[in-house]
Amino acid sequence: MPAITIEQPSETDIDAIHAALKETYWSPGIPRDVVARACANSMCAVARDDNGKLVGFARLVTDKATFAWLCDVIVLPGKQGKGLGRALVQTFQRHPELQGLRRWLLGTKDAHGVYAPLGFTPIEAPERLMHIKNPNPYGRPAS
């Protein structure tokens, strides 16, 4: 398993994260500067191979007191299907500053099976949640 740490990604890491995120269904076309700003204002988990190259990434938006939103979980091609995505999330779940949070939230279109073993369940009362959604923030519509 690659080494996972909580750290701010380097500029080279941001390049790799941006290359992956701009092709995802949730942030198609996202600009690099937006990725860099998002990382700078979030907790980040970075997975590196034996050579120090980024192979996985996850971002957590949190107040470290009551709430955390897990987002941008990516595992680079060739490293997928080996438990790295779950390991990234578990790194956050085990972090001392994140113990006792009232709610963890995430959104996924197709990875429910990845997150369910980590304790994530469907929202019991989705009608209580509201949002403002910009369907085309980066010039390509998200799905």
Domains in the chain, please, with CATH? 3-128 (3.40.630.30)
Global confidence as pTM: 0.92
What are 109-135's pLDDT values in tens digits?
999 999 999 999 999 999 999 999 888
CB 143 within 8 A of CB 25: yes
pLDDT higher for 90 or 137?
90
What are 55-71's pLDDT values in tens digits?
999 999 999 999 999 99
Strand-by-strand arrangement of the 43-48 sheet: 3-6, 43-48, 54-62, 67-75, 103-106
* Per-residue pLDDT, 143: 64
Q: Is the pLDDT of residue 23 over 90?
A: yes
CB 47 within 8 A of CB 82: no
Q: Is the pLDDT of residue 96 over 90?
A: yes
